[in-house]
Amino acid sequence: MKIIDVKTFPIYHGHRNYTFVKVETDAGFYGIGEFGLTWKEQAGIGAIEHMKNHLIGLNPLNIEWIWQLLFRGDFFPGGRINTAALSAIDIALWDIKGKVLGQPVHVLLGGTMREKVACYKSIGGETPEDTANSARLRIEDGWNFLRLSVKDRNGILEPGLAVYDAIDHFIAVREAVGRNVELCIDFHTRLDTPDSIRLSRALEPYNPFFIEDPLRCENPQTYRQFRQHVSAPLAVGEHYSTKWEFRQMIEEELLDYARIDLCIVGGITEARKIANWCETHYIKIVPHNPLGPVSAAACLHLDLACDNFAVQEAGIIGEPVLQDLFPVQVPFENGYLLPPELPGLGIEFDETIAQENYSFEWQTGPQLRRLDGSFTNW
Q: Other C-beta atoms within 10 Å of 28: how many?
A: 8
The Cα–Cα gap between 246 and 284 comes to: 13
- Tell me which residue of 349, 369, 336, 368 sits closest to 117, measured CA to CA: 336
Catalytic annotation, pick one of 106, 169, 188, 301: 188
Catalytic residue list contains 106: no
Catalytic residue list contains 188: yes
Q: Which region holds residue 111: left if phi is over 0, alpha if psi is between -120 and 50, else beta?
A: left
80-101 helix and 63-72 helix, angle to the nearest 10 degrees? 170
Does residue 349 contact residue 21 with C-beta atoms inside 8 Å? no
Catalytic annotation, pick one of 106, 169, 288, 301: 288
- Tell me which residue of 225, 268, 273, 226 sits closest to 245, measured CA to CA: 273
Catalytic residue positions, numbered: 188, 288
